[in-house]
Structure 1
Amino acid sequence: MSQTQATTAAVAEIVTFRLNEGADPTAFVTAARAIEPMLKASGNVLSRTLSCDKDGMWTDHVTWTTMEAAKSTAEAMMADPIAAPMMQMIDPAHVSMRHGLIKYQQE
């Protein structure tokens, strides 16, 4: 495994959230995977990881090529009907999103 210094303007997007009461986690993962073709087609996603802790807090961690790519693709995703099933399962009262320039990445 190599370790590299980030030399581009790649951006980490970290979104934490809870699902709506009664939402099925398996159905949520299926809905989250349904947006994968759109994300890949954008050419802006370098990686994506979706996780859930024992307390039901989810984290969607996406590595984008640039900050502009993160913002523009997110806007397009919100307007895409394919993303609606995923978005409808997320409790908007428990969403936190942040972005940061990647300063170091272990591969």
Structure 2
Amino acid sequence: MTTPTVAEIVTFRLKEGSDPQAFAKAAEGMTPFLRSTGAMISRTLSADDDGLWTEFITWTSMEDALAAAKAMFARPEAGPVMEMIDQSDLSLRHAKISLYLPPEDHAPH
């Protein structure tokens, strides 16, 4: 596995009345595109008790992260996702990764 070099951190809130489960399912629909880039290493999507969502994607390079972010908006499967996000409360940033700990095997020994 390639060691990631860039983190993409997106925080946002859903529009009033949006169903969180429907949003998570729509967000999952972006996975085939993200995997097709060949540069995504991992992806998590979480929401806290106050309704703040965070998507965290690790990428192999800054160039790949920026290209995928730009291309994502042209994807038809992005439509349902973007329709549920409150655009006035969206933050997207990229940061170089200084420490990466790959997942450990959590299977019983």
TM over 0.5: yes
More helix by percentage: 1
Shift of 1:47: 0.3
- Higher relative CO (Cα under 8 Å, sequence separation at least 6) belongs to 1
Preserved CA contact (<8 Å) 1:9 1:67: no
- Whether 1:47 and 2:42 are equivalent positions in the alignment is yes
Aligned to 1:91: 86
- TM-score, length-scaled by structure 1: 0.90
CA drift at 1:62: 0.5
Within 1, Cα distance between the matches of 2:63 and 2:21? 31
Q: Which runs of 5+ in 2 are unaligned?
A: 103-109
Regions of 4+ moved over 6 Å:
none
C-alpha deviation, 1:95, in angstroms: 0.6
Deviation at 1:8, TM superposition (A): 5.8
Task: Give the number of equivalent residue pairs.
Answer: 101
The alignment yields a C-alpha RMSD, in angstroms, of 1.4
Deviation at 1:9, TM superposition (A): 6.5
More strand by share: 1
Matches within 5 A, 1:28-107: 28-107=23-102
Q: Gaps spanning 5+ residues in structure 1: where?
A: 1-6
Q: Quote the Cα distance in structure 2 between the aligned partners of 1:8 and 1:81.
A: 30
Percent same amino acid among aligned pairs?
Answer: 52
Q: Please give the TM-score of this superposition, normalised by the length of structure 2.
A: 0.88
CA-to-aligned-CA distance 1:56-101 (integer Å, 9 cap, x gap): 0000000011111011111111001111100110000101111111
Q: In 1, are the aligned partners of 2:4 and 2:58 still within 8 Å (CA)?
A: no
